[in-house]
Structure 1
């Protein structure tokens, strides 16, 4: 974060690249962004230097004046072609959002925020330039503390955190860590965005905070400078199944548009378009994609979000999901097309199709692929299956599919496929389950039959081998806890949390509950190295006689 402040003060634009990003993706980001210097060693960058080297130079006497229309930062998101797309945001656009939210919720010098969002997630822009710009302070957790909700609670108490800013799932984890106790006295404002907001979140937050902390649900797009709308109170009105998108922020606008570019009547769904002062300049080095998504219309320039929504009573916007194939998995926005492109780059793979399955809170990626010599495909769909957990690589399990072509031979996953994908994709974009088919099912007009694949995915996720029953009370209690977190029975001590439908966010919730109910010393790193119920139970047994507390989970 200090690097971002220094870059902007020097008159340049910053391009955040997560340390967990694979080298191939970092190379593509640097190339697309036109990076001239990386702060910190990065072999994928054209040039890099360490912070110590920069500190050896004489400091600037004052910040370099910036053109308000100039680029402040470029944040890269998933692209459908397999190439990441860099959203180029100006100083003026970012300032419009940040200044409005700071003024609207009276953020000032007395405020502190726990900075959980990485720089390559644009919620961090408010932490760095909103809270610091208002005279407040950031509380920066160590890297190993970013996955420990109980530690977040301690940090909030120790450093008197007053403002929370995260995706809804992380606030949910904080409340789980607090249990029946109270949140820190100073916490009065929680900003949540980036994913669906649970209708129970506002009430739980209010009950857990002595100051009856205020929940604000925000929304928008990276292409419109962090946020474009807000719903104060974070509660769903009577008759609503979800928390509203709410109302536009200052100097920002929304349209709900039909396929012909006409405004939809109230109550009629359409594509959400964002206009006003928060719009990004476009996609870095990609004028074609920019002209496709940023269009001229009534009232000026608009960004076509690809989201569906509608206006309801009192001018409230309701968010209805995606109109295109873009999905949210574990709080991350991604294009299945990018994952498919990475799969097809492997020489042993012919065709690939990736889809997200599950409900809002437990979505996971399932990939279907054909061997390279079967790229032409047939109309049938079937063959062997092969699943792998997000944390553990391919499994050895293969089972016959329901509609395998007669005489088709079982096909294994290429042994190096997991490493291949992790060189090209962010960790959250690697499918949790892959299935080999002799060919992909097709519709009569030759397109991939995605409903058929969804049915196959459901069958695959329902498949179970002969379970190995939990061996003792520790494993039985863990199985009960996993069942509650995953929303499905867990009957196998060899079960892999991610293969059962777990995501990184669900894993954080599960570890948080284990620490609160069984033992506070459970290691997230050890769990990720072997995410099975049996291994987690072994970790608890190794913690000593106090490993399991008295009571029920």
Structure 2
């Protein structure tokens, strides 16, 4: 791995490694690598790839299903002067490779030709990152080394990562956040702890990792911060060594920032805004007490040094009459989209001599002069750091044979994560028959949705045929009020309601409660009140 005349990410890592070769660079599930060992591993892996035919200018699709070997794969690809394309088996890699046309595919240290006759990549591209969302709708963003280096240097003027920090790599390598979580610490001499799949998904395991590895900096999505705060004891969170919380990739509720600053009063909470096309963070701010007095979402913050943000009018007038499209300009922008010239011409525009990226996010200036996000100009919503295409959600619902039409909408509430709600219009004859729970026609003119057919049969026989609750002379007058505690799917309540008596029904299990509510509605049990 020779030194480079022109700066790139690998050359920058070399510089740090020469300054502190014995410092810990990577803490992996299977061991640790110092900066010196890491650069040696990269050099050896790069040499092996060159022997297999990898040359500068090649785009390499890297299988990132196993994060530890994939991490060294993508670093070695860049060390060869190539660019990497992360391929996650969970996100339709065939669709991505078919559109990106990488020269090679890399898995288990083996290089396989894919589209060797494609033109080589140029302009110092470090990687081609698919935007989040469905594979077919994602964009393939070409990101230069220089843009990454600029943004990370600018961001660290705010976050102040130092060699004493221990930082988590939580984002999958197929997400653009992984670039920041890996290179921001490494380029500033810190140690990166690579979380495994279990630790990413299990809050107990994640908190244990944070504690045992003495993590000082946590960079993640607000939804994960919410999960940690909801599931972990405040004392356990307060006992960690976290001094820096960095939230990005989705709107950040002010209540969440309040919660974490209360849990960790000595830590600093950074709210950040950015996209794949802006090569990570474009605007950020250290959240202060004055910013936490209201509800709703935090503003995007101040542009990083060298970056400009502005509000551009929409082509179509927004629904609230105030929101405009948020645009970002500066040396940190991506080069554009690979093989998507139409999208590039729409999203990357030049106005008054400055190149802008139109993010698709709607925003407005609030009373305090701050830019706050208000939604999307397209039919997408960001959840858990991913852009979800609502058109794709609706199309998936329409594939069901019972569905005639579908609509999906984002619903947001103050201080809550956004959620997607969907409604469908069913085809004639499918009103109930294609429900997730089978509809069963019983005697006594009953129709019920059931979760457990044998249990339904047993309860029906007990209540309607054997009338076990009417033994010993028990009579229910029409003006009586009956309490049904543990109503299950509602058969006993329905039997009482047929006599016009009033019923107060209780069912503590949420899924069963939903079935009970549906059955009461199906059978027009107006005298039953489900509590």
TM superposition score normalised by structure 2: 0.61
Give the corresponding residue for 2:104: 37
Alpha-carbon distance, 1:114 to partner:
1.9
Residues 130, 369 of structure 1: CA spacing in aligned structure 2 closer, same or farther, 3 A cutoff?
Answer: farther
Contact 1:116–1:140 (8 Å) recurs in 2: yes
Contact 2:199–2:209 (8 Å) recurs in 1: no
Equivalent residue of 1:200, what SS?
helix
Please give the alpha-carbon distance, in whole angstroms, between the structure 1 residues aligned to 2:508 and 2:164: 51
Aligned equivalent of 2:431, options 384, 396, 402? 384
Alpha-carbon distance, 1:213 to partner:
0.6
Give the corresponding residue for 2:465: none
Aligned-residue CA RMSD (Å): 3.8
Give the corresponding residue for 1:225: 279
- Please list, as runs of the form range in 1=range in 2, the aligned pairs for 1:241-390 lying within 5 A after superposition: 241-259=296-314, 268-312=322-366, 315-342=369-396, 352-357=406-411, 359=413, 360-361=416-417, 363-366=419-422, 368=424, 384=431
Give the corresponding residue for 2:143: 89
Residues 77, 241 of structure 1: CA spacing in aligned structure 2 closer, same or farther, 3 A cutoff?
Answer: closer
**Residues paired across the two proteins, number:** 374
Please give the alpha-carbon distance, in whole angstroms, between the structure 2 residues aligned to 1:326 and 1:358: 13
Max radius of gyration: which structure?
2
Aligned equivalent of 1:12, options 82, 91, 96? 82
Give the corresponding residue for 2:221: 167
Contact 2:253–2:295 (8 Å) recurs in 1: no
- Please list, as runs of the form range in 1=range in 2, the aligned pairs for 1:472-487 lying within 5 A after superposition: none
Contact 2:148–2:279 (8 Å) recurs in 1: yes
Give the corresponding residue for 1:156: 210
Please give the alpha-carbon distance, in whole angstroms, between the structure 2 residues aligned to 1:385 and 1:78: 32
Contact 1:33–1:86 (8 Å) recurs in 2: yes
Give the corresponding residue for 2:480: none
Give the corresponding residue for 1:407: none
Structure 1 residues 321-380: Cα deviation after superposition (integer angstroms, max 9, x where no partner): 222211123442111123344556778877554334464425135253666xx9xxxxxx
- Please list, as runs of the form range in 1=range in 2, the aligned pairs for 1:234-245 lying within 5 A after superposition: 236=291, 238=293, 241-245=296-300
Contact 1:132–1:138 (8 Å) recurs in 2: yes
Corresponding position: 1:396 with 2:466: no
- Please list, as runs of the form range in 1=range in 2, the aligned pairs for 1:406-417 lying within 5 A after superposition: none
Residues 469, 90 of structure 1: CA spacing in aligned structure 2 closer, same or farther, 3 A cutoff?
Answer: farther
Give the corresponding residue for 1:199: 254
Contact 1:252–1:276 (8 Å) recurs in 2: yes
- Please list, as runs of the form range in 1=range in 2, the aligned pairs for 1:107-122 lying within 5 A after superposition: 107-122=161-176
Give the corresponding residue for 1:495: 511
Gaps of 5+ in 1: 41-49, 55-65, 375-381, 389-393, 400-465, 472-489, 500-553
Q: Which has the higher contact order (CA 8 A, sep 6+)?
A: 1
TM superposition score normalised by structure 1: 0.59
Equivalent residue of 1:16, what SS?
strand
Equivalent residue of 2:361, what SS?
strand
Please give the alpha-carbon distance, in whole angstroms, between the structure 1 residues aligned to 2:404 and 2:72: 45
Please give the alpha-carbon distance, in whole angstroms, between the structure 2 residues aligned to 1:227 and 1:493: 43
Alpha-carbon distance, 1:228 to partner:
0.8
Q: Which has the higher strand share?
A: 2
Structure 1 residues 376-399: Cα deviation after superposition (integer angstroms, max 9, x where no partner): xxxxxx9626888xxxxx543699
Please give the alpha-carbon distance, in whole angstroms, between the structure 2 residues aligned to 1:208 and 1:300: 43
Gaps of 5+ in 2: 1-70, 112-120, 442-483, 490-505, 516-531
Structure 1 residues 1-39: Cα deviation after superposition (integer angstroms, max 9, x where no partner): 222222222222222222333xxx221111111123333
Corresponding position: 1:209 with 2:264: yes
Please give the alpha-carbon distance, in whole angstroms, between the structure 1 residues aligned to 2:153 and 2:311: 26
Contact 2:169–2:192 (8 Å) recurs in 1: yes
